[in-house]
Amino acid sequence: MLMRREFLTASAALAAGLGCLSLAGPGFAQASTMLTRKIPSSGEALAVIGAGTSGSFEVDAGSPQYQQLKQVLKVFFEGGGQVIDTSPNYSGADAVLGQLLEEGGWRSKTFLATKIAADSRDAAQAQWAGTLRSLRTDKVELLQVHNLRDWQRQLPYARELKAQGLTRYVGVTHYVDGGLDELERILRQEPLDFIQIHYSVNAPAAARTVLPLAQDKGVAVLINRAFDDGRLFAKVKDQALPAWAAQAGISSWAQLFLKFAISHPAVTAVIPATSRPERQLDQLKAGSGPLLSDAQRRQLIEQFA
């Protein structure tokens, strides 16, 4: 628990730090021209750079970290971001997100994606009631079955909620290569609006089957773990960007990892997590400028294999 003096110091440091983050500067101008992709089942357009909340939003409400997240979201929305993904499984991150969206007046700008992570109908119903309370909303945009957990029971439940107007879209998620085969089977047999999967320079397997299949079936795709939970940054420490990065409008490794994800034509949006406003601003820059060519994507996959 921080003492009041420490809190004020941290807040002042944050305010001073944010002074360098001019939202009217070149970074913001670029981010505001964010690319969009259509959700195949509706034609609704979504900004390609979204945000995740696992880890980065697991903070105490009112703490200095919470105030910092408010700046993260301010940068996100001013830069044209829309999709934010959370889950009742993220140690209170959904409640933090709900409070921040309410305080910032941002709910109407948010394409809010959350999950069902339960093993029975009763548990899912109780969880859904808690989700609406935590997120301070009466409906969400996307409800996903978390990690395919009990999906045979939970996907029909999500569809019931969709029929009641409580979510506009339904989907399923996974996060490692071990889930791709089952995801492929589900994609072949179940009508879905969205899937959410991992896909990154060091985990490109989804491009073999699941991504092209989602494209064929007209299913929108969210990409999680585009930074491999942040581990990719350690791998590129002190490494220069590829020579062609500047031509693709890329000035950081974070932008390159995100651009790798959105350059696959099946991908609707990528949802990187961060707790830092300056990183959020940097991430948004990946949403504009040229996409990567097949040759550039292949080169990255070879580099990180």
Ligand X SMILES: NC(=O)c1ccc[n+]([C@@H]2O[C@H](COP(=O)([O-])OP(=O)(O)OC[C@H]3O[C@@H](n4cnc5c(N)ncnc54)[C@H](OP(=O)(O)O)[C@@H]3O)[C@@H](O)[C@H]2O)c1
Residue 55 found at the interface with ligand X (CB under 6 A): yes
Which residue's beta carbon is nearest to the bound ligand X? 52
CA distance 153 to 127: 14
Binding piece for ligand X, criterion CB under 6 A, among 51-59, 150-158, 235-243, 296-304: 51-59
What is the smallest separation between the CB atom of 75 and ligand X, expressed in angstroms? 12
The residue length of the chain stands at 305
The answer to the question of residue 217 lying near ligand X (CB under 6 A) is no
Does residue 229 interact with ligand X by CB under 6 A?
A: yes
273 binds ligand X (CB under 6 A): yes
Among the residue ranges 73-81, 103-111, 271-279, 288-296, the one whose residues contact ligand X (CB under 6 A): 271-279
Position 70 contacts ligand X (CB under 6 A)? no
| Comparison of 37 and 174: residue with beta carbon closer to ligand X | 174
The stretch among 25-33, 52-60, 154-162, 202-210 that binds ligand X (CB under 6 A) is: 52-60
User: Taking Cα atoms as reference points, which of 156, 162, 152, 150 lies closest to residue 118?
Assistant: 150
Q: What is the number of other CB atoms lying within 10 angstroms of the CB of residue 113? A: 27
One of 175, 205, 213, 301 touching ligand X (CB under 6 A): 175
Binding flag, residue 259, ligand X (CB under 6 A):
no
Q: Considering the complex, state which of residue 55 and residue 212 has its C-beta at the smaller distance from ligand X.
A: 55
Tell whether residue 275 is a contact of ligand X (CB under 6 A): yes
Q: Should residue 85 be labelled a site residue for ligand X when binding is judged by CB under 6 A? A: yes
- Smallest distance, ligand X to C-beta of residue 76, A: 13
Query: Is residue 278 near ligand X by the rule CB under 6 A?
Result: no
> Smaller CB distance to ligand X: residue 113 or 164?
113
Q: Does 52 bind ligand X (CB under 6 A)?
A: yes
Alpha carbon of residue 288 to chain centroid: 17
Which stretch in 13-21, 28-36, 239-247, 270-278 sits in contact with ligand X by CB under 6 A? 270-278
In sequence order, the 6+-apart residues with CB closer than 8 A to the CB of 154 are 116, 118, 124, 145
Question: Are 124 and 157 spatial neighbours (Cβ–Cβ below 8 Å)?
Answer: yes
> What is the gyration radius of the CA atoms in the chain, in angstroms?
19
Q: Distance between CA 175 and CA 86 in Å, rounded?
A: 14
Residues 205, 207, 211, 212: is their CA dihedral positive or negative?
Answer: negative
Structure tokens at 107: 């709910």
The footprint of ligand X on residues 104-163 (CB under 6 A) is 146-147
Q: Is 196 in the site for ligand X (CB under 6 A)?
A: yes
Residue 87's alpha-carbon distances to 60, 107, 127, 301, in angstroms, are 16, 16, 10, 30
Could you tell me what percentage of the chain is helix, strand and coil, using 3-state DSSP and rounding each to the nearest 5? 50, 15, 35
Is residue 277 a contact residue for ligand X (CB under 6 A)?
A: no
- Asked if residues 83 and 271 have their Cβ atoms less than 8 Å apart, the reply is yes
Neighbours of 137 (CB within 10 A): 18
Token reading at 45? 């357009």
- Rule CB under 6 A: say whether 65 interacts with ligand X: no
Which residues would be at the binding site for ligand X (CB under 6 A)?
52-56, 85, 146-147, 173-175, 196, 224-230, 233, 254, 271-276, 279
